[in-house]
């Protein structure tokens, strides 16, 4: 047997909820009873409203309050760390193009056809997505620059948010890839810019590869690894790490890009933790070095080297 326990609640909030509920109920009650034509109808209506308000005030201290709501755009602003088959299926990632347009090299990733549409095997999509996430994590952990390319208007916010999650290591192209950005960098950016900054990225992620074949070709000529969402009409061999999925679904792009960008953010955190560990190790080594010379009765100079000219210090 279950008992309802009263919970502490805000009286102002409870009053507002009661008033709102009473108004809605009275509106529905008046619609059911019809217009109030006589005094008896008005008296019955007042009594019903009073009893309803009394019941609402007595029961408002029980129950629970809803604190979170699911939103359709949560996959853009709050992506999941790891994708699931159900999430990919719900986003329509398994829908390919017409069976007559399927690329012959895409056959290993095709589940079958239905109603003339190629169905993508998500049992291949999920492990390939996780493999790509490991690549992104490793590149970000080694201070690599990652570029997200999505040149359709519906996926432009997706690449923007993905690049923002990586901070200074993330970049995005949302309008158009300028031909010669990598292969003609000396004329595009100038000699001073090329010598002082890193122009060639360490990894490129494409959400619509067919519309960005120039970028894929330049990455191949510049030895830049590529990750791309590959649909059934695309040859998976054009990129280094293909992810078979529907490249026309914005929700699929949000899920895949969210997983990859979070993996990159984890790689940045790993790098920062490693740098912090190295700083602590160097500081500890210098402290031990000073203590050792203090015990020996020697006082090192300001740069940490011993005063004895015959002694050998660390040269960094």
Q: How confident is the model at residue 188 (pLDDT cuts 50, 70, 90)?
A: confident
Q: How far is CA 315 from the centre of its chain?
A: 44
8 Å CB contact between 80 and 251: no
Q: List domains and CATH numbers for the chain.
A: 75-268 (3.40.50.10490)
The label of the residue with tokens 């990159």 reads 264
Q: How confident is the model at residue 300 (pLDDT cuts 50, 70, 90)?
A: low
For CA atoms 296, 299, 301, 307, give the dihedral sign.
negative
pLDDT reported for residue 132: 96
29 pLDDT more than 80:
no
pTM over 0.85: no
Mean pLDDT of the chain: 83
pLDDT above 70: percentage of residues in the chain? 78
End-to-end Cα, the chain, rounded Å: 74
Mean pLDDT is highest, among 60-64, 78-82, 163-167, 193-197, for 163-167
CA distance 235 to 72: 31
CA distance 171 to 43: 69
Q: How confident is the model at residue 5 (pLDDT cuts 50, 70, 90)?
A: very low
8 Å CB contact between 153 and 132: no
pLDDT above 90: percentage of residues in the chain? 53
**pLDDT digits over 120-173, tens only?**
999 999 999 999 999 999 999 999 999 999 999 999 999 999 999 999 999 999
8 Å CB contact between 139 and 202: yes
When pLDDT is averaged across residues 178-193 and rounded to a whole number, the result is 89
**How many CB atoms within 10 Å of residue 177?**
20
12 pLDDT more than 60:
no
């Amino acid at each position: 047997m279950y008992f309802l326990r009263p919970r502490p609640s805000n009286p102002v909030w409870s009053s507002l909820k009661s008033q709102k509920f009473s108004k809605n109920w009275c509106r529905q009650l008046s619609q059911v009873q019809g217009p109030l034509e006589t005094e008896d109808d008005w008296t019955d209506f007042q009594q019903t409203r009073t009893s309803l308000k009394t019941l609402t005030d007595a029961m408002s201290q029980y129950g629970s309050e809803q604190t979170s709501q699911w939103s359709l755009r949560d996959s853009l602003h709050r992506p999941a760390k790891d994708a699931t088959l159900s999430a990919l299926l719900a986003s329509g990632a398994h829908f390919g193009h017409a069976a007559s347009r399927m690329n012959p090299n895409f056959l290993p990733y095709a589940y079958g056809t239905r109603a003339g549409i190629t169905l993508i095997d998500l049992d291949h999509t999920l492990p390939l997505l996780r493999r790509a996430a490991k690549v992104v994590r490793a590149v970000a952990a080694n201070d690599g620059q990652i570029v997200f390319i999505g040149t359709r208007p519906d996926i432009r916010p997706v690449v923007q948010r993905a690049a923002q999650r990586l901070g200074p290591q993330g970049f995005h192209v949302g309008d158009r890839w300028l031909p010669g950005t990598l292969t003609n960098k000396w004329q595009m950016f100038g000699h001073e810019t090329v010598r002082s900054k890193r122009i060639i990225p360490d990894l490129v992620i494409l959400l619509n590869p067919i519309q960005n074949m120039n970028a894929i070709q330049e990455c191949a000529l510049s030895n830049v690894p590529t990750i791309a969402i590959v649909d059934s009409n695309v040859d998976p061999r054009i990129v280094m790490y293909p992810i078979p999925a529907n490249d026309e679904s914005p929700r699929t792009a949000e899920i895949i890009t969210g997983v990859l960008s979070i993996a990159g953010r984890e790689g940045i955190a790993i790098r920062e933790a490693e740098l912090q560990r190295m700083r602590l190790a160097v500081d500890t080594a210098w402290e031990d070095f000073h203590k050792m010379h203090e015990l020996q009765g020697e006082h090192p100079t300001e740069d940490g080297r011993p005063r004895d000219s015959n002694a050998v210090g660390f040269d960094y």
